[in-house]
A and B are shown apart, each in its own frame.
Chain A
Amino acid sequence: MSTVWTKRLLVLLGLVAILATVAACAAPTAPPPQVVKETVVVAGPTKIVEATKIVEATKIVEVPKVVTATPPPAKVQDTFIFGAQGEPVCLDPAIITDGISGRVINQIFEGLVKFDKDTTNVVPSLAEKWTTSDDGKVWTFTLRKGVKFHDGTDFNADAVVKNFDYWQNTKNPAHAAQVKAGQTYEYFEAQFGGFDNDSIFAKIEAVDPTTVKFTLKEPQGPFLNNLAMFVFVFWSPPALEKAPVECANRKPVGTGPYKFVEWKANEQVTLEAFADYWDKANAPKMKKVVIRNIPNNSARLLALSAGEIHGMEGLEPRDVAAVKGNPKFKLILRPANTTGYVAFNYKVKEFQNLKVRQAFAQAINKKPIVDSFFGGTGQVANQFQPPALWGYNKDLKDWTYDAAVAKKLLADAGFPNGISKVTFDGKEVPLEFWYMPVSRPYYPNPKDIATAIAADWAKAGINVTLQTVDWATYLDKRKNGLLPLYMLGWTGDNGDPDNFVCYFFCMDAKDTPIAREGFVADKEVSDLLKKAAVTTKQADRAPMYQKAEQLIRDRVLRVFIANNQPPLAFTANVDGYIPNPTGTEFFNTVVVK
């Protein structure tokens, strides 16, 4: 028995030594991107078993595996294949909220307006031009002539009215059928106030075949940005009427550059160029577009490296450098539309003191954190809005990092020995700093980032206990205001500053602080943002948001850490991919050479 054991252990020792050599060989230079790791399966009990194996054998978990890359097959030149992080939820634009469905929908459908190229500026799409009444309540859109849906139906004002009816009228048969099937029209409800009488629309009329008039109950500042969102795009009315209720069988029919061919569940969605597309200058350059579902980030990179796909999202921060340095690939950074922040809960008595909050802000050394944990795609944030937004305040100066000043601020606030316990909701408890259990675009390495922030704080006398819990519980706790100090972030929906700042710092209609945002209560900021939301001219609105950002900074309502530019990877022969901050990209400009 004893000898068998010994033998086993010696074999094991040998194995580890071999692995060590392999790892050491891979070490010196930046590894080529073909070095792909074998990931431990992360799902339920399987993960447990695998992980045990790893530790028991003391084997190195991830063995760099050199994959001999085959050059992309030459005959796929008429097809663009994109690797997505998951499966579309549904191909009916009105009932989805996720970007993966959104990407497919962008190619098939179009709305009145859209976001221009790599900005959040709103430009004409199916509407040629529009006018606003002086009170901002009446919007008149002139529609493009000669636009056809994929099924041959003409696009006109009637189609616009019918689509709006489908979205907002709960008695519309198609709408009612979806609600009965458990679907919601979440974005319509969120952006336009609700359904039927709750919606901001008083009247939507087809004045003539090329003119649509919207009469609003209240002026809405972000109205155009809302309309440009990927969900407010138009179905061919006859196709919508005929479409079966179940999502999987709903064949989308729009006016976009590509038309729907088939959706193989858990595999891919295939689209085909639409010959009668109205915009001849931007006619689709590829015959076919395939959007493949490859959930595993490493497997997707492997597919890209093998030439099975031409482009992908969801590149791991740690793989960015390798993709950047390899001539076989092209790295494209999507303009930042995310902000990662650290939020205070104002039910914590200590956080009501400005000096304490300022100490927390000044004790964090953001630059090295962003440089170390964002894979080179992050930039330090000093305000909530990313620089690409028109409400961004260019003149705002961030709090400087200074642990000594932070210490002094704490002492001035009555904490000469630092802070490690706080009074939260009337009870004295150790100060917990909650970090997210999952990686999100705004925080690719939440645990590492939290550890670094906590270390910075500790150097200034702020002693926190790091805490986390599963993602669903985390969000739930946050929603109910149960996290004393936590990290989270935001990815913008429609490029309107309102969608960033007001969502977080506007109190509700009765001016009660919201639990979701840690009971933040700053009436001046809230009033300013609410006013900006009902102002219609961008030139009037921009200074309001800039002022709000300045106030948020001066009062340290929250600490903003970083904007991240999500990386996309392509094979070197792909041209014309224009990344939009909102993630709504159009593939008609893409060419595979």
Chain B
Amino acid sequence: MSAVAVANEQSEILAVLARPPRSLWRDAWRRLLSNRLARVGMAISLFFLLMAIFVPFVFPYNAKVDSDLVNQLTEPSREHLMGTDEQGRDVMNRIAQGAQASLGVGLSSVLIAVVIGTLIGLVAGFAGRWIDIVLMFLMDIMLSFPGLLLAIAIVALVGPGLRNSLLAITTVSIPVYARIARSTVLSIKEQEYVTAARCVGAPSPRILFRHVFPNSLSPILVQGTLGIATAILEIAALGFLGLGQQPPYPEWGAMLADSVKYLTSGAWWVLLFPGFAIMLTVLGFNLLGDGLRDALDPRLRVD
């Protein structure tokens, strides 16, 4: 090894040391941004999110009085860019207004499920013994039903409606997060820094929330993002079956269900555009979730 090479290596090391420290999150963010598909996913998700948040404020919409039967099922035109539906309502407007139902339920169901599921998983994994057995047994029972079927059963029990489908979808997705949280906790529990914390006498809750929880966050974040996509699909499925959003309020799945019967009369636009909206949002959140998974994987950590 020549002296120059040694000097170079040393200066490189010095350079690295001189750099401000970067957190895992910052690192992940950079890697996420460098992934083209993830950027596309982020853009799509952001687009629909902004739509869901701002459209109802900027263009207030009263679904109850929206009907214009004279213009029933008109083709896309300059006036109605995506045509009109069976009640003569503007399809584009209904899609934009319907984003609130789909994304609102999608996001909030995942948020609630993540909080409850993670808590259950953390407690089960950390406490072990019979608490673990009982909690996980319950989660296994719930997991043994196909998600949508269980959601339908719950809605059938409490009655159709957007709020009840939120409840159903949340309940159905809790066990997924509980399982993930528990499995990460099980591996983190054995790490040296946890043993160290225990040795210095840190109480269990502190260990759980200061040391274990932050380190188990990344798989949950990935699953959560992908979960939003699933939740949007589920809310659309419930809407399609008439169990979700009730008429006359817009929701993509319900819009699909209402317009299916008009396809044979050639009205493709009432079906295509809500379908596209569902597909695009799901695609967006899936791409973003995939990107997050890659970005947060420590094994893929390259600079």
Contact = CB atoms under 8 A, between A and B. Distances in A.
8 contacts: A6-B290, A26-B266, A28-B266, A30-B265, A322-B265, A371-B69, A451-B67, A455-B66
A11 interface: no
A331 to B, nearest CB: 16
B232 to A, nearest CB: 9
B64 A454 contact: yes
Contacts of B247: 447, 450-451, 454, 466
Interface in A10-26: 12-13, 16, 20, 23-24, 26
B236 interface: yes
Given A48-B152, A55-B278, A56-B237, 16 more contacts: A5-B286, A6-B37, A6-B287, A6-B290, A9-B287, A23-B268, A36-B264, A48-B241, A58-B275, A62-B260, A318-B264, A454-B248, A455-B65, A455-B87, A466-B246, A466-B248
Given A55-B278, A448-B87, A466-B248, A319 B264 contact: yes
Contact of A64 (B240, B264, B272): B264
B271 A9 contact: no
A37 B264 CA distance: 7
B276 A16 contact: yes
Contacts of B65: 455, 458-459
Nearest to B159: A469
A31 B246 contact: no
A456 interface: yes
A9 B268 contact: no
B75 interface: yes
B294 interface: yes
Nearest to B262: A318
Interface residues of A, number: 63
B120 to A, nearest CB: 26
Interface string B246-258: 1110000100101
A452 B268 CA distance: 21
A35 B256 CA distance: 20
Given A55-B237, A55-B278, A60 B272 contact: yes
A484 to B, nearest CB: 16
The A interface, classified by DSSP as helix, strand, loop or mixed, is helix
Interface in A55-81: 55-56, 58-62, 64
Given A27-B266, A48-B241, A5 B290 contact: yes
Contact of A452 (B87, B149, B272): B87
A2 interface: yes
A20 B290 contact: no
A300 to B, nearest CB: 14
A35 B264 CA distance: 7
Nearest to A40: B260
B271 A23 contact: yes
A569 to B, nearest CB: 14
Interface string B129-168: 0000000000000000000110010000000000000000
B283 interface: yes
Report which residue of A35, A48, A465 has the largest number of chain B beta carbons within 10 angstroms of its beta carbon.
A48
A372 interface: yes
A455 B67 CA distance: 6
A163 B284 CA distance: 72
A45 interface: yes
10 nearest CB pairs, A to B = A455-B67, A23-B268, A58-B279, A368-B69, A458-B64, A27-B266, A458-B65, A2-B290, A55-B237, A451-B247
Nearest to B248: A451
Contact of B268 (A1, A13, A20, A468): A20
A318 B266 contact: no
B74 interface: no
A29 B267 CA distance: 11
Given A27-B75, A27-B268, A37-B263, A452 B282 contact: no
A528 interface: no
A261 interface: no
A514 interface: no
Contact of B264 (A9, A48, A62, A372): A62
A45 B146 CA distance: 11
Contacts of B262: 318
A373 B241 CA distance: 21
B123 to A, nearest CB: 30
A290 to B, nearest CB: 28
A160 interface: no
Given A58-B279, A62-B263, A2 B268 contact: no
Contacts of B242: 437, 468
Contacts of B256: 54-55, 61
Interface string B219-248: 000000000000001001100111000111
A543 B87 CA distance: 40
Contact of A463 (B37, B64, B286, B290): B64
B184 to A, nearest CB: 19
Contacts of B75: 27
B258 A447 contact: yes
Contacts of A239: none
A51 interface: yes
Contacts of B37: 2, 6
Interface in A317-334: 318-319, 321-322
A105 interface: no
B183 interface: no
B157 to A, nearest CB: 13
A369 interface: yes
A56 B278 CA distance: 9
Interface string B57-71: 000001011110110
Contacts of A31: 264-266
B30 interface: no
Interface string A415-457: 0000000000000000000000100000001011011101110
Interface string B99-124: 00000000000000000000000000
B80 interface: no
Contacts of B152: 48
A573 interface: no
A455 B248 contact: yes
A368 B87 CA distance: 10
B129 to A, nearest CB: 35
Contacts of A40: 260
A55 B70 contact: no
